[in-house]
């Protein structure tokens, strides 16, 4: 039998990856077999479903976490009976009941949402590859910005790489300028530098639309004491509380804890010293509206809405009823707006500092996605990326639309510490209600792991990092610590991990393993 080789379809945004999927699926159906298509949750839009239904009619079953259980069960049984022969869905659809599977497509295979991090941990992309292998099916992984792991597989010949380097209309990729925020001091409220302000003005004057992109995680609105700097954190989760202007309250995104903003500082007791500060999309949208009073400004983020309301905002943009859209990650995926000729990234740096070895890759992917937003209409788009670190490879390569340049730089950086794809990383997560017991267990286990690595030659390549409190040290009433095991040999890593997990600790303490975690939080 022929060796099983997944395909990696590497295509620039707008190069027609979806059309390739549709053709492969059509051929598969013609041969009497079935098809499974996985997409990130955020891309599973009504437009995407409509596109599949337009081509394949009611042979398509859509599996979506936003569906009622009954609808989902209905779709599941249509597949089971063979009434539907194409399953399109997010992560968990990888287990859809399809007989005679002929092809599995994983679109945007780099997307972090394919990894199930809670409960039973699995990576839907890896499950998809295994399932295709067992079923004798074709496996197609598609992305404009492949994960380093998948691209490395294609470099090593484990995957066969197909490149879609041109947009079918021969329209060039948008022109990207990097704006150095150290030179062009941005307006504090809106993060508008002079060049971006000028570009927005020109776009408005031309009757075109702009998207301003904000990486929410780095820019949540915060409330602080201007006398002593005290900031408000959740007493249960040790995360910063998010400020809600309409209710003038602070709340925790994890556990829902909520409190009023006090008049006086709880720490230094200074009266009237609490300032509401920072840059959410709300703040930026207000400042942008003030700077461009004739423009119609809308914003889009998780606070505005979910599901249907998102579609309302996006369809207004599609009908050109919005001149400037201010938004978070949501604006980067799954929608084509011909009228958008300018995309401004307000601050590219925010993602780079997340405590995660994939921070740089995520930032590159995000910037590349955002850059792909502009210029899908009949004119070439323009992208301005504002950053305090214009020399960062993720920024430079995204601006140059050069995936390979990023891959080479990032792969070299990862090699230094044997991070994937050069090695593996296992997070040992230790948590429990009692902070002393958790810390004690973490120190005990890390010590044992270090002893094992010192004493046994078969695991000598393993590095033990930590123990450290997790970035979210308290979450839902539990204290969380981490030990990281890192090294080029996954068998050696597993041996150490198994020893750690098999060691007896206080009964209230949980010890879990996460291989190549998507998040360090």
Query: What is the enclosing helix (H) or strand (E) of 432?
Result: strand 424-432
To Zn ion, the closest distance from the beta carbon of 329 in angstroms equals 22
To Zn ion, the closest distance from the beta carbon of 117 in angstroms equals 18
Binding residues with Zn ion: total (CB under 5 A): 14
Window contacting Zn ion (CB under 5 A); options: 27-35, 257-265, 373-381, 386-394: 257-265
Angle at 226 between CA 223 and CA 230, to 5 degrees: 60
Write the DSSP symbol of residue 167: -
Which of 38, 224 has the CB closer to Zn ion? 224
Alpha carbons 178 and 337: distance in angstroms, whole number: 23
Please report whether residue 228 would count as binding Zn ion according to CB under 5 A: yes
- Nearest-Å Rg of the Cα atoms of the chain is 24
Write the DSSP symbol of residue 100: S
Q: Which residues contact 285 (CB under 8 A, 6 or more apart)?
A: 297, 298, 299, 326
CA dist 107 → 90, 102, 140, 339 (Å): 10, 16, 8, 25
Among 268, 312, 413, 415, binds Zn ion (CB under 5 A): 268
Alpha carbons 520 and 139: distance in angstroms, whole number: 29
Please report whether residue 181 would count as binding Zn ion according to CB under 5 A: no
To Zn ion, the closest distance from the beta carbon of 264 in angstroms equals 8
Please report whether residue 178 would count as binding Zn ion according to CB under 5 A: no
- Segment 395 to 414, residues that bind Zn ion, using CB under 5 A: none
Mind giving me the DSSP string for 216-230? HHHH--EEEETTT--
Helices (H), 248-344: 281-291, 308-318
For residue 251, the Cα-to-chain-centroid distance in whole angstroms is: 23
Neighbours of 4 (CB within 10 A): 14
Token pair in block for residue 413? 């950086």
Among 64, 121, 171, 236, binds Zn ion (CB under 5 A): 236
CA dist 358 → 383, 410, 518 (Å): 24, 10, 8
Which of 51, 230 has the CB closer to Zn ion? 230
- Segment 91 to 130, residues that bind Zn ion, using CB under 5 A: none
Among 61, 225, 288, 397, binds Zn ion (CB under 5 A): 225
Among 88, 141, 234, 398, binds Zn ion (CB under 5 A): 234
Please report whether residue 250 would count as binding Zn ion according to CB under 5 A: no
Among 161, 230, 277, 494, binds Zn ion (CB under 5 A): 230
Among 87, 200, 237, 297, binds Zn ion (CB under 5 A): 237
Burial 248-271 (b: 16+ CB within 10 A, else e): eebbbeebebeeebeeebeeeeee
Among 252, 430, 464, 483, binds Zn ion (CB under 5 A): 252
Window contacting Zn ion (CB under 5 A); options: 153-161, 265-273, 285-293, 484-492: 265-273
Site string for Zn ion, 33-72 (x = CB under 5 A): ----------------------------------------
Window contacting Zn ion (CB under 5 A); options: 57-65, 267-275, 308-316, 369-377: 267-275
To Zn ion, the closest distance from the beta carbon of 221 in angstroms equals 17
Which of 239, 399 has the CB closer to Zn ion? 239
Residues that bind Zn ion (CB under 5 A): 225, 227-228, 230, 234, 236-237, 252, 254-255, 257, 265, 267-268
């Amino acid at each position: 039998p022929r060796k099983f080789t997944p395909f990696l379809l590497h295509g620039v945004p707008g190069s027609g990856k979806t059309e390739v999927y549709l053709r492969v699926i059509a051929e598969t159906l013609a041969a009497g077999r079935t098809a499974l298509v996985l997409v990130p949750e955020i891309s599973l839009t009504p437009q995407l479903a409509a596109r599949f239904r337009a081509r394949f009619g009611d042979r398509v079953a859509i599996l979506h976490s936003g569906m009622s259980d009954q609808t989902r069960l209905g779709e599941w049984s249509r597949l089971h009976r063979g009434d539907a022969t194409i399953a399109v869905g997010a992560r968990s659809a990888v287990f859809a009941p399809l007989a005679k599977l002929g092809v599995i497509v994983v679109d945007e295979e780099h997307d972090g949402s394919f990894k199930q991090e809670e409960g039973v941990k699995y990576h839907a992309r890896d499950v998809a590859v295994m399932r295709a292998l067992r079923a004798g099916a074709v496996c197609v992984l598609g992305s404009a910005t492949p994960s380093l792991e998948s691209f490395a597989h294609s470099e090593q010949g484990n995957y066969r790489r197909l490149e879609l380097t041109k947009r079918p209309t021969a329209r060039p990729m948008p022109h990207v300028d990097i704006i150095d925020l150290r030179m062009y001091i941005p307006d504090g409220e809106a993060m508008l530098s002079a060049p971006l302000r000028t570009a927005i003005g020109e776009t408005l004057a031309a009757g075109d639309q702009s998207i301003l992109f904000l990486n929410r995680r780095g820019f949540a609105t915060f409330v602080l004491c201007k006398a002593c700097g005290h900031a408000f954190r959740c007493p249960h989760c040790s995360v910063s509380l998010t400020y809600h202007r309409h209710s003038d309250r602070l709340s925790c995104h994890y556990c829902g804890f909520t409190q009023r903003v006090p008049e006086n500082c709880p720490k230094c007791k200074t009266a009237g010293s609490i300032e509401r500060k920072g840059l959410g999309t709300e703040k930026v949208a207000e400042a942008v509206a003030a700077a461009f009073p004739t423009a119609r400004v809308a914003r889009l983020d998780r606070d505005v809405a979910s599901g249907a309301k998102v579609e309302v905002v996006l369809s207004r943009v599609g009908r050109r009823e919005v001149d400037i859209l201010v938004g978070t990650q949501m604006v980067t995926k799954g929608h084509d707006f011909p009228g958008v000729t300018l995309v401004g990234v307000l601050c590219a740096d925010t993602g780079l500092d997340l405590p995660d070895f994939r921070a740089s890759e995520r930032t590159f992917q995000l910037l590349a996605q955002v850059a792909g937003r502009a210029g899908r209409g009949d004119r070439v788009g323009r992208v301005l990326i504002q950053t305090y670190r214009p020399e960062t490879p993720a920024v430079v390569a995204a601006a140059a639309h050069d995936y390979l340049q990023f891959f080479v730089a990032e792969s070299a950086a990862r090699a230094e510490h044997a991070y994937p794809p050069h090695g593996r990383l296992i997070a040992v997560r230790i948590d429990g209600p009692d902070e002393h017991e958790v810390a004690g267990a973490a120190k005990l286990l890390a010590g044992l792991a270090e002893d094992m690595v010192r004493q046994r030659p078969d695991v000598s390549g393993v590095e033990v990092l930590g123990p450290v409190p997790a970035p979210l040290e308290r979450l839902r009433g539990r204290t969380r610590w981490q030990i990281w095991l890192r090294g080029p040999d996954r068998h050696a890593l597993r041996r150490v991990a198994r020893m750690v997990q098999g060691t007896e600790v206080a009964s209230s303490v949980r010890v879990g393993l996460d291989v190549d975690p998507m998040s360090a939080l």
